Amino acid sequence: MGKKRIIQQSEEELLKEREKVEAKAKKEVKGTTIKIKEGRVYIFSSYNNTIITLADLKGSVLGWVSSGSIGFKGTKKATPFAASKVAEAVAQIAQKIGIEKIEVLVKGIGSGRESAIRSLAARGLQILSIKDTTPVPHNGCRPPKARRV
C-alpha cells in the first residue's frame, strides 16, 4: 500500500460547493423558495460496484456517490463495507440539503444492498419505505437449440 494522501479544498472551492448545494436545496415555486424535506435514494448494487443516487420526489438528481468515486478500487468496490461508506457520504449530502425523510429504491444483486440501507438508517435519515426494483425475467432468454449428435 502506498502513502495515504488527504485532499484539502481551498476556501474558494468550499464556498462554490456550498453555493451549489444550497441552490439545489431551494426550489422556486411561484416566487417563493421551499426547502426540500423528503427525497428518494436509489441504490444500485452490482457484483462490481455500488452506486447511490439522491433525488427529490420528482426525480431530479441532487447528488450521487459511488464506491469508485470514494476511492475503492478493484474487487473492494463491491464489498458491504464500501457500500456503507457510500451510504454515509450520501447521508451527509442529504443532511447538507436538509432532507430528513427518504424512500429507498434498491436495484441489483450485489452484496452492498443491506449494509447501505443500514448505514442510511444509522445516519439519522428516517426511512419511509424500502422497495426492491430489481428486474426479474418472466420467461428468460430463448434456450439454445437441441444438440444433434
Q: What is the second-level CATH architecture of the domain 34-132? A: 2-Layer Sandwich (3.30)
Nearest Cα to 44, choosing from 91, 89, 105, 121?
Answer: 105
**For the chain, what are the domain ranges?**
34-132
Euclidean distance between the first and the last CA atom of the chain, given in angstroms as a whole number: 54
- Rounded to whole angstroms, the Cα distance separating 62 from 31 reads 21
Helices (H), the chain: 11-25, 67-70, 80-97, 113-122
Does this model's pTM top 0.85? My answer is no
Tell me what pLDDT residue 33 has. 52
Tell me what pLDDT residue 146 has. 94
Per-residue tens of pLDDT for the chain, all 149 residues:
567 676 676 778 777 777 776 666 555 444 445 578 899 999 999 999 999 999 999 989 999 999 999 999 999 999 999 999 999 999 999 988 889 999 999 999 989 899 999 999 999 899 999 999 999 989 888 999 999 98
